[in-house]
Amino acid sequence: MPDASAGHYDAIVVGAGFSGLYLIKRLRDAGFTVLAVEAAPSVGGTWYWNAYPGARCDVESFDYCYSFSRELEQEWSWSERYPSQPELLQYLNFVADYFELRPNIRLDTRVTSATFDEDEGLWDVRLDSGDPVSGRFFILAGGAISVPKPPEIDGIDSFAGECYHTGNYPHEPVDFTGKYVAIIGTGSSGVQTSTAIVDEVAELTIFQRTANFVAPIINRPLDDAAHAEYRRTSFERHEKSRHSRQGIPHDQPTRSALDVSDEEREEIFGDAWENSHLFGLRLTFNDLLFDEKANDTVAEFVRGKIRGIVHDPEVAKTLTPRGYPYGTKRPCIGKDYFAMFNREHVHLVDLKQTPIMRMTPKGIATSEGEMQFDTVIFATGFDALTGAAGRIAITGRGGETLRDKWVDGPQTYLGLTCNGFPNMFLVTGPGSPGPLSAMVRSIEQHVDWIGDCMVHMREEGLATIQALPDYEINWMDHVQEVAEGTLYPRADSWYIGANVPGKPRKFMPYLGGVGVYREKCDAVVSAGYDGFAFGADK
């Protein structure tokens, strides 16, 4: 067994969010030594960093939590249908304490590089604290949506007011009372932040580059009966999610949106709008993300809602999403988002008409003049899927770097491994269905697969595993092909890398579905780890 006291572990894990915490538990239970290295001063990952006002999960709490432990399930009770960021952070801290994971975590420490030492069959890992550590396995659990994307605006440093990014938001309260506040970005983070602070601010100005489809969030407290029902049915609920398309326990629709009358379709959409959840509108018909005409029906339904809610027709027009199909950029759920624009102190700047020129000491200069602000919040998203791995200098076999390997877009086999990088695993990496699913179900599947693989290698006396090049190419081709069978590639989304200037345009998440992906991963194992080459112990 490797000597952890000398800095040598079976596995070095990057990150201590949902993925890192479960990796520690799973690998430690299997008898491996593990060190998780976390840049934040706390566990929690996403739910530590995104402490912005209104931050909330939009998958139901019963589906956005670990399912691997019935004991944990008995010990924890969610207070709301959609858990808030503080509650999620509390949950992940509870998990770290409950399973005594903290001795395996080094906080406030960043992994800066990792180099595969061919002679020793080890990953040499460098930390910003200076001390070297090494591991037989190097596991990237640094998050698919964890590296905040700067807004590419000149002069940010010249701004004399307060400036925040939602993805790296302070934990101390920020006072918005009587302030002139700007929010740049209208994705989920911008929608949640704006609706959370609108009552506090003196004036709120939203800078919108692309209008978004936002449905109402139907949140509610969870009572004892809901918890009792959950505990009674959780096994079936999670099992259904594991084999579902999106990692949630809901039935897939079987009908086409084009096979029903306009009245019936309107009623079905209306019901989903009023009563359902994030996936509600998407789960009404089976072809919304595959057929343009079917998609037009749901897009037009939401557009109609916007026209009905927003009083000023010009503002309504600006808020109306066009130019990409419904659902191909992640749709949001938010509280009274469109109604917010009826309030006198809320202003909308259409960046397509009035672009930002630069930031100034007093605020934001647009093509139509300077606007003054006390506080500017960037809700401009993330360098998703490749961002966290790309910020670590990773060198594999023969001196090949991951940055070079991925220069034209990421390459993985099953989203879990890379040819040329033996014993390196990724959790929710490019090529995994994770980012397009309820993530915790995907994370558990990835971690279980990795854990089982490491146990298999130990039992068989195998030193290294790596993906075969042809299988990797075929997998990424398959990921592209599946995406091209849908409407997703028609949007400039973070799924395709379009939100980061200069990033190769390649569809990254696997759209085949969580259940299908699980079957494929299991089939690879049943066929003797088809597509992998193992190296024997020296």
Q: Which of 18, 22, 337, 382 binds ligand N01 (CB under 6 A)?
A: 382
The CB density around residue 86, as the number of other CB atoms within 10 Å, is 13
Q: How far apart are CA 182 and CA 375, in angstroms?
A: 6
Check binding of 55 to ligand FAD (CB under 6 A). Answer: yes
The Cα-based distances of 395 to 129, 219, 391, 412, 434 in angstroms read 20, 46, 12, 15, 25
Residue 190 binds which entry of ligand FAD, ligand N01, none, with Cβ cut-offs from 5 to 8 Å by kind? Answer: ligand N01
Residue 64 binds which entry of ligand FAD, ligand N01, none, with Cβ cut-offs from 5 to 8 Å by kind? Answer: ligand FAD
Q: Where does this chain touch ligand FAD (CB under 6 A) — which range of 201-209, 398-406, 435-443, 473-481? A: 435-443
Closer by beta carbon to ligand FAD, 166 or else 234: 166
Q: How far apart are CA 66 and CA 247, in angstroms?
A: 12
Check binding of 134 to ligand FAD (CB under 6 A). Answer: no
Q: Where does this chain touch ligand FAD (CB under 6 A) — which range of 58-66, 155-163, 355-363, 525-533? A: 58-66
Are 375 and 163 within 8 A, CB to CB?
Answer: yes
Task: Provide the token pair at 359.
Answer: 């930031």
Q: Which of 189, 195, 295, 417 binds ligand N01 (CB under 6 A)?
A: 189
Check binding of 187 to ligand FAD (CB under 6 A). Answer: no
Residues 6+ apart with CB under 8 A from 530: 471, 523, 524
DSSP summary character for residue 67: -
DSSP letters for 335-403:
SSHHHHTTSTTEEEEETTTS-EEEE-SSEEEETTEEEE-SEEEE---B-TTTHHHHTSEEE-GGG-BHH
Q: How far apart are CA 512 and CA 514, in angstroms?
A: 7
Are 257 and 287 within 8 A, CB to CB?
Answer: yes
Closer by beta carbon to ligand FAD, 298 or else 443: 443
| Nearest approach, Cβ of residue 452 and ligand N01 (Å) | 28
Q: Which of 102, 110, 243, 362 binds ligand FAD (CB under 6 A)?
A: 110
Closer by beta carbon to ligand FAD, 303 or else 446: 446
Residue 114 binds which entry of ligand N01, ligand FAD, none, with Cβ cut-offs from 5 to 8 Å by kind? Answer: none
Check binding of 145 to ligand N01 (CB under 6 A). Answer: yes
| Nearest approach, Cβ of residue 383 and ligand FAD (Å) | 11
Q: Which of 83, 135, 185, 247 binds ligand N01 (CB under 6 A)?
A: 185
Can you say whether the dihedral through the CA atoms of 125, 38, 392, 22 is positive or negative?
A: positive
Q: Where does this chain touch ligand FAD (CB under 6 A) — which range of 46-54, 292-300, 350-358, 393-401? A: 46-54
Residue 494 binds which entry of ligand N01, ligand FAD, none, with Cβ cut-offs from 5 to 8 Å by kind? Answer: ligand N01
Closer by beta carbon to ligand N01, 10 or else 58: 58
Give counts: helices (H), strands (E), the chain.
15, 20
299 to 338: interface string for ligand N01, x by CB under 6 A = -------------------------------x--------
Check binding of 494 to ligand N01 (CB under 6 A). Answer: yes
Residue 184 binds which entry of ligand N01, ligand FAD, none, with Cβ cut-offs from 5 to 8 Å by kind? Answer: ligand N01
Check binding of 192 to ligand N01 (CB under 6 A). Answer: yes
Q: How far apart are CA 312 and CA 305, in angstroms?
A: 14
Are 505 and 497 within 8 A, CB to CB?
Answer: yes
Closer by beta carbon to ligand FAD, 67 or else 318: 67
**Interior angle at CA 256, CA 250 and CA 260, nearest 5:** 110
Q: How far apart are CA 282 and CA 293, in angstroms?
A: 14
* 3-state per-residue secondary structure call for 216-228: ECCCCECCHHHHH
Residues 6+ apart with CB under 8 A from 264: none
Closer by beta carbon to ligand FAD, 64 or else 425: 64
Exposed, middle or buried, 194 (CB in 10 Å: 0-12/13-18/19+)?
A: buried
Q: Where does this chain touch ligand N01 (CB under 6 A) — which range of 86-94, 110-118, 206-214, 388-396? A: 206-214
Check binding of 426 to ligand FAD (CB under 6 A). Answer: no
Which position's Cβ is nearest ligand N01? 187
DSSP letters for 281-314:
TTTS-TTTTT-HHHHHHHHHHHHHHHHHH-SSHH
Q: Which of 196, 351, 462, 473 binds ligand N01 (CB under 6 A)?
A: 351
Which has the closest alpha carbon to 365: 156, 151, 163? 156
Check binding of 38 to ligand FAD (CB under 6 A). Answer: yes
Contacts of ligand N01 in 1-60 (CB under 6 A): 56-58
Q: How far apart are CA 241 and CA 248, in angstroms?
A: 4
Closer by beta carbon to ligand FAD, 28 or else 265: 28
Q: Which of 209, 250, 305, 503 binds ligand N01 (CB under 6 A)?
A: 209
Closer by beta carbon to ligand FAD, 19 or else 423: 19
Contacts of ligand N01 in 62-121 (CB under 6 A): none
Number of residues that bind ligand N01 (CB under 6 A): 26
The Cα-based distances of 221 to 31, 134, 405, 413, 537 in angstroms read 40, 46, 48, 42, 54
Which has the closest alpha carbon to 430: 367, 376, 480, 379? 480
| Residues binding ligand N01 (CB under 6 A) | 56-58, 145, 151-152, 166, 184-190, 192, 207, 209-210, 330, 351, 379-382, 494, 499
User: What residue ranges bind ligand FAD (CB under 6 A)?
Assistant: 14-15, 17-20, 37-40, 45-46, 48, 50, 55, 57-59, 64, 110-111, 141-143, 145-146, 189, 388, 391-392, 427-428, 438-439, 443
